[in-house]
């Protein structure tokens, strides 16, 4: 008989992000329609204590559920049980609130002439600035949680990107007429007033909007360490002409830019998450831009638009589109909602699942913006190093149909931890600059890629090769992964003909580029 159980966490799991996804199962003979998951040791008056006991649906065919719970720094005693009655399951999770140099910022951009900041929304939805801040901040937290869970599903641990801290956001303030900083869910949201009016912004193409906004956000001191996820408040549809203004979905460099057309469908609170991702209300496609991948309902609008922001952030993290298969970096982001609810309003497409394609997952595992945590017994001091590198990017795909997103399973180790005595942040990328460098690491030496006269590609990485991507016409066609940090590979040789065969290159006009990321997150790319 099935007992109450959690399927995606180990005993004493350690994470570096505050919104934890719990995938579990309950006995069918208890006939539960929902469960609650909460912290038994929540600090009174905290965000954790305020947003407790959200009901999370249980799937009646197998008893599975998905739930979210806010964590507090330190040891968290997570409890799960029926809506009324005592907890049936308790376990510990450790949240390590890591100070990190490489962060993701939330930026809400508004026109110069905006008097009352609001986004376009139906009359039954709050569209004012405070609501936008809550929706945006929670969406970014969902993206952070999703990024970690999808890496975990590939057997690579619960690593994710760090979101800027409020103390860092306020460290170098801009004049109030240019930028205000609001906060929700411990996410500082920069409300940035642009230099152009609403009419001027509506006259720009998506590419021009990306270029202009990237330029206006370029003047921060740690620009290469911060990636901006920016949402444009001024996205709107003209019902009389059918034209959509102020919208794009582009990511690259240090800017992932998206319109606000779907923001009204996003959740504002944790309790809204299961409701929003199962909201069957129709999108008014006459008066509002329907960015739901042709599904026409609000749950799909929320799923596609939040998922697409994660896709664009992926481009900023050096992830291209995959040539084959699916996943977040193809059109798998349309199914972002399936990470957070077992209620499926679109069961006919069961094969479509959100996931990182294997190449993307391995690359993120080594990226300097990604950090994880490990619960340990020994009193070992971590070694650190700090590096910079410019990531690559690709435009958003616009396929005519939804792709088949079959996922390749990877075994996840479930060995329990011993008794925990301390927490260590763990990363394969960069870390806080004030910490000492690793004595064995070759500081500032990026991977090198060369092609010799005999048709062999040579890849050198003094810090250890982590991932090699083979990009055909900008999309990843194949890769090699080197995950063993204990025995790093510093040199790799491969015949160019073997790469072409593995990548199934047939067109003589196709371009081939090789990109390598090392164990410290340094990236180099070379055309061959």
pLDDT tens, position by position, 389-406: 333 333 333 333 333 444
Instruction: Identify whether residues 251 and 205 lie together within a single domain.
Output: yes
pLDDT in tens, 482-503: 998 778 899 999 999 999 999 9
Instruction: Identify whether residues 84 and 116 lie together within a single domain.
Output: no
Of 50, 75, 95, the residue that ends a domain is 95
- pLDDT for 96 equals 93
Q: Is the pLDDT of residue 301 over 90?
A: yes
State the DSSP code for 382: P
Q: Is the pLDDT of residue 33 over 80?
A: yes
CB-based contact 389:466 (threshold 8 Å): no
- pLDDT for 213 equals 98
Measured distance CA(366)–CA(390) in Å, rounded: 14
Instruction: Identify whether residues 82 and 133 lie together within a single domain.
Output: no
Residue 524 belongs to a domain: yes
- Residue 23 tokens read as 């995938």
CATH (domain of 15): 2.60.40.10
CB-based contact 482:489 (threshold 8 Å): yes
Of 365, 390, 406, the residue that ends a domain is 365
- For helices 129-153 and 298-316, give the axis angle rounded to 10 degrees: 70
- pLDDT for 269 equals 96
Instruction: Identify whether residues 90 and 203 lie together within a single domain.
Output: no
- pLDDT for 48 equals 78
First vs last C-alpha separation in the chain: 57
Instruction: Identify whether residues 91 and 109 lie together within a single domain.
Output: no
Residue 382 belongs to a domain: no
pLDDT in tens, 247-291: 999 999 999 999 999 999 999 999 999 999 999 999 999 999 999
Instruction: Identify whether residues 87 and 120 lie together within a single domain.
Output: no
Instruction: Identify whether residues 172 and 124 lie together within a single domain.
Output: yes
Mean pLDDT of the chain: 87
Residue 461 belongs to a domain: yes
CB-based contact 19:141 (threshold 8 Å): yes
- pLDDT for 99 equals 85
Q: Give Dmax (Cα) for the chain.
A: 73
Instruction: Identify whether residues 39 and 75 lie together within a single domain.
Output: yes
Instruction: Identify whether residues 12 and 36 lie together within a single domain.
Output: yes
- pLDDT for 429 equals 43
Q: Is the pLDDT of residue 231 over 80?
A: yes
The runs of H, that is alpha helices, within 443-516 are 496-502
Residue 54 belongs to a domain: yes
Number of residues that this document lists for the chain:
528
- Kindly report the pTM of this predicted structure: 0.89
Instruction: Identify whether residues 80 and 108 lie together within a single domain.
Output: no
pLDDT in tens, 149-183: 999 999 999 999 999 999 999 988 888 889 999 99
CB-based contact 35:82 (threshold 8 Å): yes
Q: Is the pLDDT of residue 82 over 60?
A: yes
The neighbour count for residue 227, using CB atoms within 10 Å, is 22
Q: Is the pLDDT of residue 413 over 80?
A: no
Residue 256 belongs to a domain: yes
In the sheet that 64-70 helps form, which strands lie side by side, from edge to edge? 5-6, 19-25, 64-70
For residue 373, give the nearest of 23, 94, 104 by alpha carbon. 94
pLDDT band at 351 (very low <50, low <70, confident <90, very high): low
Measured distance CA(88)–CA(188) in Å, rounded: 36
Q: Which of 268-272, 307-311, 368-372 has the lowest mean pLDDT?
A: 368-372
Instruction: Identify whether residues 82 and 126 lie together within a single domain.
Output: no
- Domain tally for the chain? 3
Of 73, 95, 117, the residue that ends a domain is 95
Mean pLDDT confidence for 67-92: 95
Q: Is the pLDDT of residue 475 over 60?
A: yes
483 or 1, which is more confident?
483
- pLDDT for 373 equals 73
Measured distance CA(253)–CA(243) in Å, rounded: 29
- pLDDT for 1 equals 65
- pLDDT for 322 equals 96
CB-based contact 117:132 (threshold 8 Å): yes
pLDDT band at 98 (very low <50, low <70, confident <90, very high): confident
Q: Is 325 in a helix, a strand, or coil?
A: coil
Q: Which residue range forms the structural domain that includes residue 22?
A: 5-95
Residue 389 belongs to a domain: no
Instruction: Identify whether residues 32 and 130 lie together within a single domain.
Output: no
State the DSSP code for 308: H
Mean pLDDT confidence for 9-27: 96
Measured distance CA(299)–CA(124) in Å, rounded: 15
CATH (domain of 483): 2.60.40
């Amino acid at each position: 008989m099935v007992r109450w159980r959690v399927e995606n966490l180990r005993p004493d799991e350690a994470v570096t992000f505050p919104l934890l996804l719990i995938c579990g199962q309950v006995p069918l003979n208890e006939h539960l329609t929902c469960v609650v998951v909460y912290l038994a040791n929540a600090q009174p008056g905290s965000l954790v204590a305020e947003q407790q006991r959200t009901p999370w649906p249980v799937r009646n065919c197998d008893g599975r559920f998905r739930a979210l719970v806010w964590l507090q720094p330190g040891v968290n005693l997570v409890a799960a049980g029926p809506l009324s009655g005592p907890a049936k399951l308790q376990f510990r999770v450790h949240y390590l609130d890591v100070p990190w140099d490489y962060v993701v910022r939330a930026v809400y951009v508004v026109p110069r002439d905006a008097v009352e900041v609001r986004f376009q929304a139906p009359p039954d939805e709050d569209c004012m600035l405070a609501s936008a801040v809550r929706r945006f901040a929670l969406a970014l937290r969902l993206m952070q949680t999703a990024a970690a869970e999808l890496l975990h599903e590939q057997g690579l641990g619960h690593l994710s990107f760090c979101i800027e801290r409020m103390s860092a956001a306020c460290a170098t303030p801009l004049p109030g007429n240019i930028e205000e900083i609001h906060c929700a869910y411990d996410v500082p949201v920069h409300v940035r007033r642009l230099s152009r009016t609403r009419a001027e912004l509506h006259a720009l193409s998506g590419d021009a909007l990306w270029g202009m906004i990237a330029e206006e956000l370029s003047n921060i001191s740690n620009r290469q360490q911060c990636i901006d996820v920016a949402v444009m408040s001024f996205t709107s549809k003209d019902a009389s002409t059918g034209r959509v203004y102020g919208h794009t979905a582009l990511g690259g460099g240090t800017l992932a830019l998206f319109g606000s057309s779907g923001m009204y469908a996003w959740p504002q609170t944790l309790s809204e998450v299961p409701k929003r991702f199962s909201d069957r209300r129709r999108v008014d496609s006459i008066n509002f831009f329907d960015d739901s991948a042709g599904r026409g309902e609000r749950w799909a609008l929320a799923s596609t638009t939040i998922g697409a922001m994660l896709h664009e952030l992926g481009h900023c993290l050096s992830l291209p589109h995959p040539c084959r298969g699916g996943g977040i970096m193809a059109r798998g982001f349309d199914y972002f909602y399936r990470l957070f609810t077992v209620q499926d309003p679109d069961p006919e497409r069961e094969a479509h699942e959100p996931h990182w394609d294997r190449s993307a997952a391995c690359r993120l595992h080594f990226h300097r913006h990604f950090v994880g945590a490990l619960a340990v017994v020994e009193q070992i001091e971590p070694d650190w190093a700090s590096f910079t590198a410019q990531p690559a990017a690709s435009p958003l795909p616009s396929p005519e149909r939804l792709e088949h997103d079959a996922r390749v399973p990877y075994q996840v180790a479930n060995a329990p931890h011993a008794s925990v005595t301390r927490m260590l942040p763990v990363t394969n990328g960069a870390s806080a600059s004030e910490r000492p460098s690793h004595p064995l690491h070759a500081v500032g030496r990026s991977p090198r890629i060369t092609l010799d006269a005999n048709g062999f590609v040579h890849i050198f990485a003094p810090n250890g090769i982590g991932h090699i991507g083979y990009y055909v016409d900008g999309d990843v066609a194949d890769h090699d992964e080197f995950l063993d940090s204990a025995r790093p590979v510093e040199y790799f040789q491969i015949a160019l003909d073997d790469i072409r065969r593995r990548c199934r290159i047939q067109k003589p006009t196709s371009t081939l580029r090789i990109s390598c990321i090392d164990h410290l997150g340094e990236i180099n790319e070379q055309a061959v």
